[in-house]
A and B are shown apart, each in its own frame.
Chain A
Amino acid sequence: MPRPEIKMITFSIDGREVQAPENTMLVDAAKYGDVEIPVFCYEPKLGQPVGACRMCLVEIEGIPKLQTACSTPVKDGMVVHTQTQRVHEAQEAVVEFLLLNHPLDCPVCDKGGECPLQDISFGWGGGRSRFVEPKRHFQKPLELSPLIAIDRERCILCYRCVRYSQEVSEDYQLVLQERGAASYVATFDGHPYVAPFSGNIVELCPVGALTSKPYRFRARPWDIEGAGTVCTMCPGQCNVTLTVRDDRVLRVLARDHEEVDDGWLCDRGRFAYQSFHVDERITSPLVRVDGELRPVPWDHALDVAADALKRAGGAVGALAGGGTTNEEGFLLQRIAREALGSPHLDSQRAPVDRRSLLAIGDPGLQATVPDIEYAHAVLVLDTEPVDEMAILDLRIRKGVRRRRVRLAVASARPSALDGNAALSVRFAPGGGPAFAAELVAAARGEAASDDARAVVDLLRGAGEDVVIVASERVGAALAALADALGLRDRDGAGLIVVPSSANGRGLREVGVLPDAGPGLAPVARPGLHAAEMARAGAEGELTAFWLHGVDPLRDLPYRERWEQALDRATDVIAHAAFLTEGIREHATVVFPVEAYAEKDGTLTHPDGRLQRVRPGIGLQGRNRYGWQVLADLGRRLGLELRVLTAGMALAEVAAAVPFYAGLTQDEIGGRGIRWQEREAASAYPRPEGLPDLAAPTVREGAGLRLGTFRSIWASPEVEHSPALRFLVPRQRVEMAPADADRLGLGDGQRVVVSANGSRVEATVTLRHAVPAGSVFLQDGLVRDAANTLTGSVVEIRPAVTSEVAG
C-alpha cells in the first residue's frame, strides 16, 4: 500500500495551538507541542495501540470520559488537556495501581536509572502507597531463554513483549497465562523462548521484568556510555548503540533508523558483542614460525607480509569479505592492482560479471528498505532473509501484516516467510537464475512455466509498486525482470539485492572485483574470480593469497579445492579476528582485524546507503585500524597511499568512485546517506546491456539435488559469544518425508551425505515443505559443512554408529 499523504492540522493542547500531522495518535501529536504524555503499553513499532496500561488518560473537550491519548487520533480543532486535576488524579491512580505489586527493588534492578516506570512514577505518581497487603509473588528470576531472564514480580503486564512475539516477529511463542491479577507472561508450555529476534523484548520492556542475561548486573546506567555505530555482521547493517563501560562493550541496543532497521535487532546482532572481548580473539599480528603462528611486533609482521606479497606479485589472489569496510576494500584493491600487478580480486561468493552488476546496481532500479513496507507487492527471490539479511524478515512481515503487501516467495528451500506469502513457489536447488529468467519471460509475455506466470500475475495484479528482494547470485536476470515489470525510475519500487557479505555492495563499488575497478569501471586485464582462484591456486598458478575478512574454507564453496590451493600457496596473508580453520592451518601472516566496535570506516548498505562505522571502544590489544595496516603494507610495497586517518581513506574512495564523489564523514553523519540521492549519482556508469539470460540448466541426476544455506547462527562471532553458543548449528540434512521414506530414513537419524566420494555427517530433519528430490545442508559450520561436498547431487545413507561398527 503506497505511503499515505500527510496533512497537517491544528489542535490545542494545554491551551496552546499546535500543528501536527492529522491522525497521529495524541501521544505523538502532543510532542509537537513539547507536551509529554506518559505511556507504558504504547509503542508504535508494535502496531495498533491497545490502550491497556491506561497511563495516558487525557481530557478531550466534548468527550465526557477521559481518553487514552495513545489510541486517539488527533483531529483538527481538538482541544486536549493534560494538566487538569482530573487527568492528574487518573494518572496518579494508574501509577499507584501499577506499583501495588511491583517490588520496588530498583537498587538491585538492571533497569534502575533507565526505567520508564521509575521516570513516570517520579513524574506522574503520587509518591506514596496506600497498599498494605502482601504483594504478588512469583519465583524469580527465571530463564525465559538462555538469553533472557524474566522477573514476573517486576512485570506491569503491558503486553509489549507478547504483542511483539505475536505481531512483529510472529514467532507466536510468548503468551499470557492465567488472567486478571494472576496473569503472567510465559511461553505456552514453558519451553525456552528461542527465536531469531527474541532479544528485542528486553529493549521493549518498560520495567526490569525482562533483562538480558549477559548484561545482568554488569553495569548501572551511570557507569556506562553509549556509542552509536553500525553492526557489520550481515548486509542488514542495523544501526546500533553500544553500551560501553571501561572500554568494554557490555550491551548492544538498537539505534532506531526507520530507513534501515526499523528499530529492531536480531539476536546475533544483539548478543554477539561478547565475541569482542574473548581470549580467542586475535589482537596481535602473528607470523608462522616453525609451523606455528606466534605473536610478533607489527613491523616484523608487516615486513614479512610485504616480502611475501612482493615475491608473489601478479600471482597473488586477494579476497575481501566479512565486515571489510569500503576504505579497506579500496586500499586492498589498489595495492593488489598497482603495487603487486595482480588483477585477481574478488568479494563475491558466486561470480556475477561486471555488466550484470552494473545493471542490477543501477539507481533507476533501486528500491529502499522502507519501500518493502509500502509496496503493493514484494517478491522474495532465491534468498532467505532471516539468514542472509535478518532484519528484512521483520520488515517484510510488517508490510504484509500492517499494510497488506502481497508477498510472493520463490526459493529452493522452504522459507520462513512462506506462511505470510500469498504465493510460494519452489525451484530446484541452484535454480535461482534459471527461475529468474523464466520470470523475465513470463513478464514479457513469452512462454514460461506455470509457477513463473503465477508469480508475475500476482505481482502485476497487486499494483505497480513491486519490490524484489533477491540474492546477488541471481544476477543479470534481476535487472531484466525489474524492467519487464516496469519498475525502472519508479519511486517505491525496484530491487534490493542481498549481497553475500555484510558490505558486499560497498566492496563491489570500490572495485574488489576481478573485472571491475572502483566505480565498477572496466579494467584492462580482468582477473580470476574466487572459484577460479581456488583452481589456479591448486594448480600452482597463484602462489599467494591475501584474505581480508574471509576464510575460504569456512565462507566459500569448493572447500576441497581451496584446501589444496591454500596448502600449495607459498604464503597466505590473512586479516582475521579469529583463527578459523583456514587461517589457523594455512596463514603465514595474520593481522588482527578490529571488531566493528573498534572500526572506523564506511559501509554501503544494499540499498545504497553509506553508513559510518564509528569506534565505540579503543583498539583492543595491539590492534591497529585496518586502513592503517593496509597503508603501511602499501608503503612497504612502494605505493604511497596518502592515508593518515579514516577520513582521508574515505576521501580517497570518494575520489576514485565517481558516484561517491565528494562524500565526507560529516555528510554521512549518524544516519547515513544514500548515494543515489546525491548529485554525484548521475556519474553512475551507463549500463552496457546484459549478458545472455540463457540460464544455466540445473543438472538432473539420479540422486538428490543438494541446496545449501548459511544459518544466521553460523558465524565465528556466535561461536565465540558464550551466551549464543547454544545456538551454534550442527549439520542436519533437511529433506522431504517422501524421500526419507524411500531411503528408509527417519527424523533425527544420523546419516552420511556423500557426493563424488566427499562426505559429511548430518542428522535428518524432515520438513514437509521441502520438495521431493531436494535436500538442504548448511554452510559456514566448523565441521561437516556443505562446502565439503564436491558435487551437487548427493546420496544419503544411514551413518554406521561406532557401537555397531565395533
Chain B
Amino acid sequence: MEKLLFKDIDEPGLNTIDVYRRRGGYERLRKALAMPREAVLNELLASGLRGRGGAGFAMGKKVSFLPKGAMDVYLCCNADESEPGTFKDREIMQKNPHLLIEGIIIAAYAAGANKAFIYIRGEYVLQADILDAAIAEAYAAGFLGENILGSDHSLSLVVHRGAGAYICGEETALLDSLEGKRGNPRLKPPFPANQGLYQGPTLINNVETLSTVPFIIEMGGEEYAKLGVENSTGTKLVSISGHVKRPGNYEIELGMRSRDIIYGLAGGPPDGRKVKLWFPGGSSSPVLTGSDEDLDLPYDFDTMAKAGTMLGSGAIIVVDDSTSVVEVAYKTAYFYRHESCGKCTPCREGTNWTLKMLDRIRKGEATPMDLDIIASVCENIMGHCLCVLGDAMAMPVSSMVKKFRAEFEEEIERRRQEADLASAMPEPELPLIQGAVA
C-alpha cells in the first residue's frame, strides 16, 4: 500500500518548510486555491473522509453544516490528543507540521474560515514549539496571513496550548477552554458548526483528519474514496501499544484484518503469551478478546461498530494473558475518574463509584455482587451524560465485566483469601440432601 500521511515521514528536516516544499508541499494548497470553494468542499464530500479523532463523523458533511452568513467562521484543530493509547497526531505534528498547516489552510478555505487555532495538549511542548516554528515559516512564505498566494483567502493561525485536561479534547470543552473558561463541555445543540467558538460557526477537526485534506485535493475525492472500504475510506494511522513486539504508529488502509495489524505489523504479543483482550480504538472503546472471531474482524468503522465497539481514534492497546483484567479495568476507570470534569452527575459520581468498587476487588473486599453493581452503574452512566466521557469509562469497563466475568469472580475469590477474608460464596460442607450421595 502506498502511504499518504507517513510518506517521507522519516525524511530528515521534513519539519522545515524547505524540505516540505521540495517534497511537493503547499502545491496542493495552490491547487485548492485555484478551485472555487464549493469545488473544494465537493472533493471533501466525495472523499468520504470520516473524522479521525474518535467520533468518525464525515468531515465534508461537517463543513457543509456551517451556516452561510456574514459572521466570522472559525476553524479549530483538535490537537489535544489525550486518549490513552493514542499518539499518532504527535508524530504528524512533530515530523510533518507543514502537512497539518497546509490541511488547515485548505479546510479553512472550504469552510470560509479566516481564523484558525490549533489547540494542542499542554504536555506536547516539543510539538507545540515545532508547530510555532512551522507557522512562522508559513507566514513568512505567504501561506498564512492576508490574501494567501494572491487569492481572496486570508487566514490567521494560532497555536494554543492546553493546561492538561483530557476533557479539553471534547470539542465543546475545547472551545470553552480556548475562550479562557474552565474547560467544561457545553450542551449540544447548539452544535459548534452553528454556535461554537465565541458563538460563531466553528469547524473542529482532528489533526489527522486535517492532515489528510491535502491528499484529497491532490488525488481528488473520488480517487481517495477508492482507498479503504465502503463507508471507511482512505488510510488511517493506528497507534499500537501494549503487549506487542513492535509498538508504534502504522498507516494502514481501512478494512485491513485486525490480526494483520496486531500480529503482522506489530509482531503480536511476546513469545509464549496470548492476546487476552484488546482495545480497538483507544481506552474508551469496549474491549475485544483474543478470540479468532475478534482478531479476524476487518479494521474499519462499521465493522467495529457492528462488533459492539468502535474504531475511535485508531489506538489499539493489546493486553496479553500475563495481566489481570481487574487491573486493566481499574486503570481504565482510574483514568476517567481522574479526568471527569464533574459537570454532570452520572459521569462525576458514576466514575468515582465504579473506581471505588474496582478498588475493593483489588483489595479483596468485594463480592461477585459488586460486579452486578458495576454493570448496573455503567448502564446508568451510558447515554445519560452531558458528553461522552462518562460513556468512555462505562463502555470498556462494562465490556470487561461482561466478557471476563469468570476471571473477575476468580480474582474476587482469590484476593479475598489473600486478604484473609472469608469466601464470598462458601461451598456447602455437607450435601444439601442427605443420602443423595451414594
Q: Please list the residues of chain A having a beta carbon within 8 angstroms of any beta carbon in chain B.
A: 49-55, 57, 65-66, 68, 71, 89-90, 93-94, 96-98, 100-101, 130-131, 133, 156-157, 159, 175-176, 178-183
B351 touching A180 by the CB < 8 A rule?
yes
In the assembled complex, the Cα of A100 lies from the Cα of B377 at a distance in Å of 12
Q: Which residues of chain A have C-beta atoms less than 8 A from B357's C-beta?
A: 133
Q: Known contacts being A66-B383, A71-B187, A97-B380, is A181 close to B344, with CB within 8 Å?
A: no
In the assembled complex, the Cα of A55 lies from the Cα of B350 at a distance in Å of 14
The interface bits of chain B over 254-286 (1 if a CB of A lies within 8 angstroms of the residue's CB, else 0) are 000000000000000000000000000000000
B337 touching A52 by the CB < 8 A rule?
no
Q: Does any Cβ of A come within 8 Å of B147's Cβ? A: no
In the assembled complex, the Cα of A96 lies from the Cα of B380 at a distance in Å of 10
Q: Which residues of chain B have C-beta atoms less than 8 A from A182's C-beta?
A: 342
In the assembled complex, the Cα of A75 lies from the Cα of B7 at a distance in Å of 51
The interface bits of chain B over 328-355 (1 if a CB of A lies within 8 angstroms of the residue's CB, else 0) are 0000000001111111111011111100
A93 touching B385 by the CB < 8 A rule?
no
Most buried by A among B167, B349, B360: B349
A54 touching B351 by the CB < 8 A rule?
no
In the assembled complex, the Cα of A780 lies from the Cα of B337 at a distance in Å of 54
Q: Does any Cβ of A come within 8 Å of B373's Cβ? A: yes
Q: Does any Cβ of A come within 8 Å of B58's Cβ? A: no
Q: Known contacts being A66-B384, A180-B339, is A94 close to B345, with CB within 8 Å?
A: yes
Nearest-neighbour CB distance to chain B for A37, whole angstroms, equals 15
Q: Which residues of chain B have C-beta atoms less than 8 A from A51's C-beta?
A: 187, 344, 386
A179 touching B383 by the CB < 8 A rule?
no
Q: Known contacts being A66-B384, A90-B380, A181-B337, is A52 close to B352, with CB within 8 Å?
A: no
Residue of B nearest to A70 (CB): B187
B348 touching A183 by the CB < 8 A rule?
yes
Q: Which residues of chain B have C-beta atoms less than 8 A from A100's C-beta?
A: 349, 352-353
Pairs A–B under 8 Å by Cβ, sample size 10:
A51-B187, A65-B383, A71-B187, A89-B380, A90-B380, A94-B384, A96-B380, A179-B342, A181-B337, A181-B340
Nearest-neighbour CB distance to chain B for A120, whole angstroms, equals 12
A93 touching B343 by the CB < 8 A rule?
no
Nearest-neighbour CB distance to chain A for B379, whole angstroms, equals 8
B350 touching A183 by the CB < 8 A rule?
no
The 5 A-B pairs at the shortest CB distance, nearest first, are namely A93-B380, A183-B342, A181-B352, A180-B340, A97-B349
The interface bits of chain B over 349-377 (1 if a CB of A lies within 8 angstroms of the residue's CB, else 0) are 11111001100100000000000010010
Q: Which residues of chain A have C-beta atoms less than 8 A from B352's C-beta?
A: 100, 180-181
In the assembled complex, the Cα of A133 lies from the Cα of B343 at a distance in Å of 22
A180 touching B348 by the CB < 8 A rule?
yes
In the assembled complex, the Cα of A518 lies from the Cα of B346 at a distance in Å of 63
Q: Known contacts being A52-B345, A130-B373, is A181 close to B351, with CB within 8 Å?
A: yes
Given A49-B187, A54-B386, 18 more A-B residue pairs with CB atoms under 8 Å apart are: A50-B187, A54-B345, A57-B384, A94-B384, A97-B345, A97-B350, A97-B380, A133-B353, A157-B348, A159-B343, A176-B182, A179-B339, A180-B338, A180-B341, A180-B348, A180-B352, A181-B349, A183-B342
Q: Which residues of chain A have C-beta atoms less than 8 A from B386's C-beta?
A: 51-52, 54
Q: Which residues of chain B have C-beta atoms less than 8 A from A183's C-beta?
A: 342, 348
Q: Does any Cβ of A come within 8 Å of B238's Cβ? A: no
For B345, give its contact among A53, A65, A131 (CB under 8 Å): A53
Residue of B nearest to A48 (CB): B187
Q: Does any Cβ of A come within 8 Å of B165's Cβ? A: yes
- Considering only CB atoms and an 8 Å cut-off, how many residues of chain B contact the other chain? 30
Q: Which residues of chain B have C-beta atoms less than 8 A from A159's C-beta?
A: 343
The interface bits of chain B over 153-170 (1 if a CB of A lies within 8 angstroms of the residue's CB, else 0) are 000000000000101000
In the assembled complex, the Cα of A183 lies from the Cα of B183 at a distance in Å of 13
B383 touching A157 by the CB < 8 A rule?
no
In the assembled complex, the Cα of A180 lies from the Cα of B335 at a distance in Å of 11
Q: Which residues of chain B have C-beta atoms less than 8 A from A180's C-beta?
A: 337-342, 348, 351-352
A54 touching B380 by the CB < 8 A rule?
no
Nearest-neighbour CB distance to chain B for A175, whole angstroms, equals 8
Q: Please list the residues of chain B having a beta carbon within 8 angstroms of any beta carbon in chain A.
A: 165, 167, 182, 187, 337-346, 348-353, 356-357, 360, 373, 376, 380, 383-386
Q: Which residues of chain B have C-beta atoms less than 8 A from A131's C-beta?
A: 353
Nearest-neighbour CB distance to chain B for A564, whole angstroms, equals 58
Nearest-neighbour CB distance to chain B for A162, whole angstroms, equals 10
Q: Which residues of chain A have C-beta atoms less than 8 A from B360's C-beta?
A: 133
Q: Which residues of chain A have C-beta atoms less than 8 A from B351's C-beta?
A: 180-181
In the assembled complex, the Cα of A182 lies from the Cα of B380 at a distance in Å of 20
In the assembled complex, the Cα of A181 lies from the Cα of B339 at a distance in Å of 10
Nearest-neighbour CB distance to chain B for A453, whole angstroms, equals 28
Residue of A nearest to B340 (CB): A180
A179 touching B380 by the CB < 8 A rule?
no
Q: Which residues of chain B have C-beta atoms less than 8 A from A97's C-beta?
A: 345-346, 348-350, 353, 380
Q: Which residues of chain B have C-beta atoms less than 8 A from A49's C-beta?
A: 187
Nearest-neighbour CB distance to chain A for B4, whole angstroms, equals 35
Residue of B nearest to A72 (CB): B189
Q: Which residues of chain A have C-beta atoms less than 8 A from B337's C-beta?
A: 180-181
A181 touching B187 by the CB < 8 A rule?
no
In the assembled complex, the Cα of A175 lies from the Cα of B184 at a distance in Å of 13
Residue of B nearest to A95 (CB): B345
Nearest-neighbour CB distance to chain B for A403, whole angstroms, equals 15
Nearest-neighbour CB distance to chain A for B328, whole angstroms, equals 21
In the assembled complex, the Cα of A176 lies from the Cα of B343 at a distance in Å of 10
In the assembled complex, the Cα of A49 lies from the Cα of B350 at a distance in Å of 22
Q: Which residues of chain B have C-beta atoms less than 8 A from A71's C-beta?
A: 187
Residue of B nearest to A182 (CB): B342
Nearest-neighbour CB distance to chain B for A177, whole angstroms, equals 10
In the assembled complex, the Cα of A131 lies from the Cα of B182 at a distance in Å of 30
Q: Which residues of chain A have C-beta atoms less than 8 A from B353's C-beta?
A: 97, 100, 131, 133
A54 touching B346 by the CB < 8 A rule?
yes
In the assembled complex, the Cα of A178 lies from the Cα of B348 at a distance in Å of 12
In the assembled complex, the Cα of A133 lies from the Cα of B361 at a distance in Å of 12
Q: Which residues of chain A have C-beta atoms less than 8 A from B376's C-beta?
A: 130
Q: Which residues of chain A have C-beta atoms less than 8 A from B380's C-beta?
A: 89-90, 93, 96-97
For A176, give its contact among B342, B349, B356 (CB under 8 Å): B342
Nearest-neighbour CB distance to chain A for B106, whole angstroms, equals 34
In the assembled complex, the Cα of A159 lies from the Cα of B187 at a distance in Å of 14
For A98, give its contact among B345, B373, B385 (CB under 8 Å): B345
Residue of B nearest to A50 (CB): B187
In the assembled complex, the Cα of A49 lies from the Cα of B346 at a distance in Å of 18
B346 touching A94 by the CB < 8 A rule?
yes
Nearest-neighbour CB distance to chain A for B424, whole angstroms, equals 14
A98 touching B344 by the CB < 8 A rule?
no
Nearest-neighbour CB distance to chain A for B194, whole angstroms, equals 14
Most buried by B among A71, A90, A133, A180: A180
Residue of A nearest to B189 (CB): A71
In the assembled complex, the Cα of A52 lies from the Cα of B341 at a distance in Å of 11
For A93, give its contact among B167, B346, B356 (CB under 8 Å): B346
In the assembled complex, the Cα of A705 lies from the Cα of B280 at a distance in Å of 75
In the assembled complex, the Cα of A359 lies from the Cα of B295 at a distance in Å of 86
Nearest-neighbour CB distance to chain B for A56, whole angstroms, equals 11
B373 touching A157 by the CB < 8 A rule?
no
B346 touching A179 by the CB < 8 A rule?
no
In the assembled complex, the Cα of A133 lies from the Cα of B355 at a distance in Å of 10
Q: Which residues of chain B have C-beta atoms less than 8 A from A55's C-beta?
A: 345
Q: Which residues of chain A have C-beta atoms less than 8 A from B345's C-beta?
A: 52-55, 94, 97-98, 156-157
Nearest-neighbour CB distance to chain A for B259, whole angstroms, equals 33
Most buried by A among B165, B167, B351, B352: B352
Q: Known contacts being A97-B349, A157-B348, is A179 close to B384, with CB within 8 Å?
A: no
In the assembled complex, the Cα of A183 lies from the Cα of B337 at a distance in Å of 12
In the assembled complex, the Cα of A181 lies from the Cα of B344 at a distance in Å of 10
Residue of B nearest to A86 (CB): B383
Residue of A nearest to B349 (CB): A97
Nearest-neighbour CB distance to chain B for A244, whole angstroms, equals 36
Q: Which residues of chain A have C-beta atoms less than 8 A from B339's C-beta?
A: 179-180
Q: Which residues of chain A have C-beta atoms less than 8 A from B385's C-beta?
A: 54
Q: Which residues of chain A have C-beta atoms less than 8 A from B182's C-beta?
A: 175-176
Q: Which residues of chain A have C-beta atoms less than 8 A from B349's C-beta?
A: 97-98, 100-101, 181
